[in-house]
Structure 1
Amino acid sequence: MNSPVARIGIVTVSDRASRGEYEDLGGPAIREWLERVLQSPWEPVARLVPDEQPQVEAVLRELCDEQGCCLVVTTGGTGPAARDITPEATEAVCEKMMPGFGELMRSVSLQYVPTAILSRQTAGIRGQTLLINLPGKPSAIGDCLEAVFPAVPYCIDLLEGPFLETDEALIKAFRPKKK
């Protein structure tokens, strides 16, 4: 199946990384994971923003509405601290929330750390874009993506986005069988 190049937004939400005080490890971890798993053509559209809700909302809207990303994955800002506002920014820009993503990611993370219950990861739909909030810790990013990504290509199909193919040896995307 010949499909257009999928654009995927990768957003790191971090005060320290945006000021250059801390190396962004989350965004590159997402990109490396996607490079390993996706077999269909895609291009990353990366952004790094501070934990400021208006700025996070603006970048999410830009990636969805102007950049035409079919998927936007964020890292950071999902905890309980006062400056952790990524879920609020995501909810503010989405028309539909997809709570199953956050539920599954927390469930998987609880197998590794009891503090996973403090995470407020969520997901939602804006137009034809699926937005997913991931934690900021690079090792948790892979764990969470492995858990939810089997459903991502079909969700994007339902949003009439590009056809995403995965390396089935790594992640088997679920698509219902056609009758």
Structure 2
Amino acid sequence: MTTPTRIARRHPDDLIIGLVSVSDRAATGVYQDQGLPALREWLGTALVSPWQAVDRLIPDEPARISETLIELVDIRGCDLVLTTGGTGPARRDVTPEATLAVGTKEMPGFGEQMRQISLRFVPTAILSRQVAVIRETPSHAALIVNLPGQPKSIRETLEGLKGDDGTVIAPGIFAAIPYCIDLIGGPYAETRPEIIDAFRPKSARRTPQS
């Protein structure tokens, strides 16, 4: 077996993203995973700056989830890890616990905002237990965010909700992710404002090149 190595950036602003789908049935081939394709499609639409992604499809096993997150951050060098699935109240839904186990800082605002967005559609959004953490090593740090399992919910929580006139009704969580990555020493990620307008304080914005 080949030992995983650190992913090389092709550009200083290259964002390295780990994508993890947590599902017993998809991992064993009972049905086709939809989470990873949905994440790749959305990122391809939303990001302007360069990015690379590495995928993992794994079962709902706490140790396996934690090991995968550690591998993606510590060994592969991901700046951002997005997980999908395993965040409900069922006994096999253990993604939040496995994520908290590897984090060095909890970032509760992400889970709070995701539930606020989902509550606009279904009252059962209060059963969702998504969390987000920072994982820090001596030389690297990454943001890890749990997302819902359904492609529609993934898009809504990342992108937020807009009215017919384009007015933002509920900001998507990805609006805060590029600046968070700045603060932990990662690359400068830029988005397409018509999809998701990444927010940065004026002092943190790059001056446009002439």
- Aligned-pair identity in percent equals 58
2:89 corresponds to: 80
Contact 2:107 2:131 in 1 (8 A): yes
TM-score when normalising by structure 1: 0.97
Q: Name stretches of at least 5 consecutive residues in structure 1 with no aligned partner.
A: none
Give the corresponding residue for 1:141: 154
1:159-178 Cα offsets, whole Å, 9 max, x none, are 11011010112111111011
Match of 2:193?
168
Partners of 1:131 and 1:16 in 2: CA distance: 23
Per the alignment, residue 70 of structure 2 pairs with 61
The answer to which structure, 1 or 2, has the higher relative contact order (CA under 8 A, 6+ apart) is 1
Aligned mates of 1:92, 1:105 — CA distance in 2: 21
Displacement of 1:113 after TM fit? Answer: 0.9
Cα deviations across residues 59-98 of structure 1 (Å, max 9, x unaligned)? 0000010011000000000000000000000000000000
8 Å contact from structure 2 (residues 49, 189) kept in 1: yes
Structure 2 unmatched ranges of 5 or more: 1-10, 160-171, 205-210
RMSD: 1.0
Bigger proportion of residues as helix: 1
Is residue 151 from structure 1 mapped to residue 164 from structure 2 by the alignment?
Answer: no
- Structure 1 residue ranges, 4+ long, deviating more than 2 angstroms after superposition: none
C-alpha separation in 2, matches of 1:4 and 1:149: 17
- Pick aligned residue for 1:41 from 43, 50, 67: 50
**Residue of structure 1 in register with 2:207 after alignment:** none
